Amino acid sequence: MLSRFFQHHDPLEAQAKRLVGAAKILAVATFIPVSDHYSFLKRCNSKEWDFFATAASVQAALLDLAQRVSGKRFKALHALIVSELHKWHPRGAEAVLDCQGFTHGNLDMQSPVVKDLLPSDTLGLWVLWNLLQRKPTFEEAQAARGIGSALATPLHDWWTRG
């Protein structure tokens, strides 16, 4: 009984559990303004946008979390997020893992398509590649920075909100 009073509770656990839901809301809310700005996206399926944009937003928050906490703490919080991803969509965790691999693989190289590549640019490229089901053309890839920024910037302070 007394052990409950002495259990360590990570204050970021609640944020970790809410992340997927917040990322989904962000994805849904950004489709119309982003597709208004990049008209070729209007041909894309909004449900697919919701899926890939949600995964990219979760990855953006994970990139930030990894810089803020120890490896052990990251692992514990990541496990909570993966659990929420499984609840959200059967392929949710797999999509975030794929986005993570794409992000890490492309941050180390300079892109001829996007100058001065930022982490959010790679998120935008990943979303585009999956929505289009092919490598984006040079013109289409110009949307990467705007897409990545729209999905990452609103979550930049996710781990400091209380």
pLDDT at 28: 97
According to the model, what pLDDT value does residue 106 have? 66
The pLDDT score that the predictor gives to residue 161 is 82
**Where do the domains of the chain lie?**
12-157
Euclidean distance between CA atoms 33 and 14, whole angstroms: 29
The Cα 102–Cα 113 span in angstroms is: 16
Residue 109, CA distances (Å) to 105, 117, 118 in order: 8, 8, 11
* pTM listed for this prediction: 0.89
Q: How far apart are CA 117 and CA 4, in angstroms?
A: 47
Task: Give the pLDDT confidence score for residue 75 in this predicted structure.
Answer: 97
162 residues of the chain, pLDDT tens digit each: 444 555 567 889 999 999 999 999 999 999 999 999 999 999 999 999 999 999 999 999 999 999 999 999 999 999 999 999 999 999 999 999 999 999 877 655 555 554 577 888 999 999 999 999 999 999 999 999 999 999 999 999 999 986
